Structure 1
Amino acid sequence: MLKEELRHTHFPYCIQRQEDGTYVFTNRNYKPIGFMTGGWVNYDDSPIGVKISELTPTLAARLDHKGRDNLDRIYLYGDSCVPTADQKYMDAYLGRLGILMKLRIAD
């Protein structure tokens, strides 16, 4: 279980679309942000899904660290560009977070 850096549990790594169209923001352990468990987490058990009104394939490509336009899973960073490993990677991650924070929650 990755716990040595706050990034592993409390910062977004992946945005995953659920069957109902909502998105769950997961940490590096694929748990909802802040969850520090090695056990299975059923996303439906907690009110953690959110509808994002402005998310398009073009925007997904701006958010994804590899520029992929996949709306099902958007990776904000990857194993080859860990934000805490290099200032260039941190700047790129923070830029993606800046885009993400401006998005609105759909009604």
Structure 2
Amino acid sequence: MLKEELRHTHFPYSLQKQEDGTYVVTNRNYKPIGFMTGEWVDYNESPVGVKISGLTPQVAAKLDHKGRNNVESIFLYGDGCTPTSDKKSMDDYLARLALLMKLKIAS
């Protein structure tokens, strides 16, 4: 479902590991970042996966809003959270986003 806030389509919500070891960075609607559709998206049909260097369980725990070290699915903010709703939520989200943006793309 599309929403009116840019956050829903253009802010990273999760990283979903694929069978080939790449990650798809999804928006709140579980679509690749920037995809503005309510339709089902098969990640394998679009070149949206990225190999990320150094994404260890320890790094995943720092990125995940609950501190989980699961490298298969990482959530930058919670299902019931709107990071733009208050300063603390936004600051927490931006801190996790800053860590994510420091990671390198593997060649």
TM-score scaled to structure 1, two decimals? 0.96
What is residue 72 of structure 1 aligned with on the other side? 72
Residue 64 of structure 1: CA displacement?
0.2
Task: Quote the sequence identity (%).
Answer: 73
User: Where do 5+ consecutive residues of structure 1 fail to align?
Assistant: none
Residues 76-99 of structure 1 deviation map (CA, whole Å, 9 limit, x = unaligned) = 001333211111000000000100
What is residue 46 of structure 2 aligned with on the other side? 46
Residues 35-80 of structure 1 deviation map (CA, whole Å, 9 limit, x = unaligned) = 1111111111111100011100000000000000000000000133
Q: 2:38 and 2:86 mapped to 1: Cα distance? A: 28
What is residue 99 of structure 1 aligned with on the other side? 99
TM-score scaled to structure 2, two decimals? 0.96
Q: Which amino acid aligns with 1:56?
A: T
**Are 1:63 and 2:63 an aligned pair?**
yes
User: Where do 5+ consecutive residues of structure 2 fail to align?
Assistant: none
Q: Secondary structure at the match of 2:24?
A: strand
Contact 2:13 2:76 in 1 (8 A): yes
Aligned pair count reads: 107
Q: Secondary structure at the match of 1:15?
A: strand
Q: Secondary structure at the match of 1:35?
A: coil
Structure 1 residue ranges, 4+ long, deviating more than 6 angstroms after superposition: none
Q: Secondary structure at the match of 1:16?
A: strand
Cα RMSD for the two superposed structures? 0.8
**Are 1:9 and 2:19 an aligned pair?**
no
Q: 2:43 and 2:17 mapped to 1: Cα distance? A: 11
